[in-house]
A and B are shown apart, each in its own frame.
Chain A
Amino acid sequence: MNRTAAAKRALAVHRRLMRFGEAESIVAEPWVERGTTVRAIEAYLARLWQDQPADDDATVTETGRHHARASVLNLIVTVPDEAAAERVVETMVGLGQRHPSRAIVLAADPQAGGLPLSASITAHCHPGPEDGERVCFEVVVLTVRGEAAEHLAGIVAPLLIHDLPTHVWWPGDPPFADPIFDQLVEMGDRLIIDSSDFGDLLRGARRLANLRRRSGVGDLAWRRMGWWQELTAEFFDAPRFRRYLPNLNRLTIRYAVPAARSRRRGSRRRRDPADLGMEVSSPLAGPILYAGWIASRLNWRRHATRQPLKDGRLHLVLEGRYEMVDLLLEPVPSDELRPGDLVSVRLRVFGEAGAAEFIIERSGDEAVVASNCDGMTALLRRMPMEQPTESELLAADIVTDEHDRVYEASLRAAAVFLASAREMDAAG
């Protein structure tokens, strides 16, 4: 890559990131320094809230200031390209009061020439949960060019608020093999990714499963499945339905993939920022995690591959507790849905234990939840679809800093399914 192109690209990313200064929550003029030092940034951050003096009102008690610094976590965000920059700004502004205490947004480009370190810092406040006290935080955007971009840890570490958990959000397809990835992930207590952005889902899933980390992995593709998981679990809260669980013998998951027409138009659509979310590299990620979830919760083991992964379609045979289970993943071309969104889930039992089917089916903006047990069909309810924004997914993820054992088990199962489906694919 030639240096001019790299410099241009870096500038475009930088411009996008300057939009943090347009957020409504902003409370002071952005501090922008081209060609600065970590020391200078630290000094500015130390001064930042002192320049917002506490109110000297006599009614201020020993609890003091009228604004409270958020004391939740540090978030390190990497921004590989312009599209990611746009998405990061939009998502983080959307976090509202569920914001980290300090966000460090990194646009690093070892290829680009120019000033090694530039910074732009914006201070934000949101009304707190009660009585209007403001909760405040800051966003530090760092543009790192040249060799310094290969040593990000040393730049970021002094800028973290001490004694708070640190999460690393890596939007897009993380460069698992790049030493910078390891450096940054090692700085955090939690890595947040979106596995539906992975270019190679199996490799990514394996790599995630092998991350030996103090803390966990947050996967936005997994979070997107949360609503479907809740609805699925709800069937089996009732003891009269729970007895079917060990006898399930078919799980059919249908999920959205881009319609051929819109895929052709992909390059034109990209211009519209609203469509950025539609660019999904691995639509299978969420659905296969969902399958891995059910399988790992119910102790289903891989048994055979009936139909290897082809055009997003997959048919495996798993070994359940009493029955063999058919696992089917079926793509549904759609212009409306985000690729990877579930379209329907069907869990079936047929055999000596009786016959039953549990169905969640998307229908427009609603989901129809129904069951059919031994010939008795019951429409349980229609539910408005919950389609969380990326901000909501991220917000849900940053409130936890625990290992999600259920996710980890689901991910391992998903990786096994993908591997067996691929092996057959290669053999065939």
Chain B
Amino acid sequence: MAKVTSRGKARAKARGGAAPQAGPAEAAPPPAAPQPAAPQPRRGTGLPTTGGNPLREGLRVGRMPEPCTMVIIGATGDLAERKLAPALYNLMLSGALPPEFTVVGFARRDLTDEAFRELLRRGINRHSRNRPAKPSIWGSFSRGIEYQRGEFHDDDAWAALARRLARIDRDRGTAGNRLFYLAVPPALHGEIVRQLGAAGLAGSADARTDGRRGWSRVIVEKPFGSDLASARKLNREIREVFDEEQIYRIDHYLGKETVQNLSVFRFGNGLFEPIWNRRYIDSVQITVAETVGVEGRGESYDQTGALRDIVQNHALQLMAVFAMEPPIEFKASDLRDEKVKVLRAVKSMSPADVAEATVRGQYVSGWVEGDKVPAYREEPEVAPDSERETYVALRLSIESWRWAGVPFYLRTGKALGTRVTEIAVQFKQAPLALFARAGAPPMDPNILAIRVQPDEGILLRFGAKVPGPGLQIRGVNMDFRYGSSFAVDSPDAYETLLLDCMVGDASLFTRDDEVERAWEILEPILDAWASGEGGRLHLYPAGSWGPAAADELLEREGRSWRRP
């Protein structure tokens, strides 16, 4: 999260002041402005670079990964086409990958190298932020793309993959560095990891450090299990073959610029961190709203639901990054230590708490963005009497000195009215209502909204006097937007995360104890819902902002949901 280097736009411009006289060219750079108690820079050690190359300093590509091969397991699936191919292409386009970089697709389907390349190219042409693929860049990229057909249970196929990788190391100079991307359903993770180990492809952390051979890393996609027991089992299975340092659990929300900027916002500015606590903050709302329904994922979604699909990973991760203490250094282990501390401080719920502080909903037919959407239960492959939640709202308490008494409201849902992900901080009211008039509505609270998508940016809402006689106060906005403030495109989250993994920076990936702790928080909710003690399922029309019960959850406490 330490990689936002651009300086803020509203840079104070100390104009005036005599310009120093020109001196000889050899003179030292101009003296720094006197700054009493200037903060000491802390050198993070968490960002390995191609250290030692003196020519790299100041270049556009500041950290070039070592040559490596990325093996996409489940390479013919949706993820490879939609996300991985465009991300790799954009990295290639920006010169961020070494020339030796090689991709090997591994899947069941019988494809030639050429057909696999075509599949990736189609993904780029359809989904890349830079498209279509430039023939020149694609030409050199595609020469490093191969395909290995194989069944996941077939030992011979994995042996063939190992031989192929050894050959690539020789021919293309990838030096034994391998990145395995598990783009397959989690049920297969255990088997695949076991096979990687059996084929001698997992390497080990020890072998990595003595420099004899390359590194080996594995990227695992969510969901990380479906409950605490299965998550533990999965972690155990992967760790039988890979060390925790080799495992990169990807949560693409953490790769988004705004989420990385959250740390810069808090810890890089002197203004905000002092008010980032229970003394000034009234409550926090985290919203992950989608307009889409289940879109053909009916069968798997009906096993999962909103709590497992979004809250367990994205929403709790956003909350952890928002609420964590300043890490000692901006490196992976410190960041993840701080995040897990937040999760550990979340108060466990009793069945009565679940009934009181959670609301689950399911959409019925309605209109979203002008289109008629069928009810969830009418979606293909969804049980007609399904009790699966497509919406969840909950109140969590973080029992720490910083956050005691500040409710964290989380909500997420499908087929809602607007697609938006944001964290909104509501500040406490001024202690004295100087401007209150009899009969006038109370003043709007101050809001700080951190918008993750779309229109990424930060908005601060405060009261201002309406021009004219009398004293009328209305909320106004100070609005920072990424799109209009930097004149550069933000990389896609997958670009950031793949590159981080290749250079060995795990800051934006989730550690095993975070995953397990997140499940521990949710387990009582899942149990209480299953037993019926946790309150009933509420219905909401597609295109609305969720069930009325969710509004009541906040109204009981004198608050209301934002309409972002």
Contacts and interface: CB of A to CB of B under 8 A. Distances in A.
A binds B: yes
Interface of A: 59, 61-64, 68-73, 97-100, 128-131, 133, 135, 163-165, 186, 189, 206, 209-214, 226, 229-230, 232-234, 236-239, 242, 245, 294, 297-298, 365, 369, 380-384, 395, 398-399, 401-408, 412, 415
Contact of B56 (A131, A237, A238, A380): A237
Nearest to B9: A71
Interface stretch (B59-67, B507-515, B551-559): B59-67
Contacts of B58: 404-407
A212 B483 contact: no
Contacts of A403: 29
B456 interface: yes
A406 B57 contact: yes
9 contacts: A71-B481, A128-B483, A189-B11, A212-B22, A214-B14, A237-B98, A297-B54, A297-B57, A402-B7
A230 B97 CA distance: 11
Given A71-B484, A233-B55, A237-B98, 15 more contacts: A64-B479, A72-B485, A73-B487, A99-B487, A128-B483, A129-B490, A130-B453, A163-B13, A233-B64, A238-B173, A294-B55, A297-B55, A298-B55, A402-B7, A406-B57
Interface of B: 6-7, 9-14, 19-26, 29-30, 50, 52-61, 64, 66-67, 95, 98-99, 134, 136-137, 139-140, 173, 418, 451, 453-456, 459, 461, 475, 477, 479-490, 563-564
Given A97-B487, A395-B487, A131 B55 contact: no
A229 B55 contact: yes
A61 B564 contact: yes
Contact of A236 (B29, B53, B455, B475): B53
Question: What DSSP secondary structure best describes chain B's contact surface?
Answer: loop
A399 B25 contact: no
A399 B453 CA distance: 22
Contact of B25 (A189, A210, A230, A234): A210
Contacts of B20: 212
A367 to B, nearest CB: 11
Given A210-B25, A234-B99, A130 B483 contact: yes
A117 B199 CA distance: 77
A297 B58 CA distance: 10
Contacts of A62: 459, 461, 475, 477
Smallest CB-CB A-B distances: 10 pairs: A384-B136, A406-B58, A233-B55, A128-B483, A68-B484, A209-B25, A98-B487, A237-B50, A210-B22, A131-B454
A144 to B, nearest CB: 22
B452 to A, nearest CB: 12
Given A135-B484, A164-B9, A382 B22 contact: no
Contact of B26 (A186, A381, A407, A412): A412
B505 to A, nearest CB: 17
Nearest to A211: B22
Contact of B19 (A72, A73, A212, A382): A212
B7 A401 contact: yes
B259 to A, nearest CB: 15
B25 A61 contact: no
A250 to B, nearest CB: 17
A60 to B, nearest CB: 11
Contacts of B26: 412
B54 A245 contact: yes
A384 B455 contact: no
B455 A131 contact: yes
Contact of B64 (A64, A234, A412): A234
A206 B14 CA distance: 26
A129, A210, A382: most-surrounded residue (chain B CB, <10 A): A129
A212 B21 contact: yes
Contacts of B481: 68, 71
A237 B101 CA distance: 13
Contacts of A230: 59-61, 95
